Amino acid sequence: MATKKKFGRRTIATFWTLLFATVVGVLIYNEQISILYVLVTLLLAALLLTVAFADLEKVQMDGQDLPKKV
């Protein structure tokens, strides 16, 4: 029996985008630029590590993985 998802990928991405936008807006409004600077630096490092360890050789143009060799 297939389970039905409550939220789609786009809804979850929109939620995270709004959450981060709210956090950044609050930090800018409260003039906590130093905290924002550290937060952005850590997020950029995480993004660079994600890209560095991504296995891009085995991904086809349509975004699906190649079939496993038996």
2 within a domain of the structure (yes/no): no
pLDDT band per the 50, 70, 90 thresholds, residue 34 = very high
Query: Is the overall model pTM greater than 0.75, yes or no?
Result: no
Max Cα-Cα span within the chain: 58
61 within a domain of the structure (yes/no): no
Say how far apart CA 70 and CA 68 lie, in whole Å: 6
**Contact of 14 with 20, CB cutoff 8 Å:** no
**Contact of 24 with 36, CB cutoff 8 Å:** yes
Looking at residue 54, its pLDDT comes to: 86
Q: How many domains does the chain have?
A: 1
19 within a domain of the structure (yes/no): yes
Looking at residue 66, its pLDDT comes to: 56
Say how far apart CA 45 and CA 42 lie, in whole Å: 5
Q: For 57, list phi and psi in degrees, rounded to 5.
A: -70, -35
68 within a domain of the structure (yes/no): no
DSSP annotation of 65: B
67 within a domain of the structure (yes/no): no
40 within a domain of the structure (yes/no): yes
15 within a domain of the structure (yes/no): yes
| pLDDT of residue 5 exceeding 90 | no
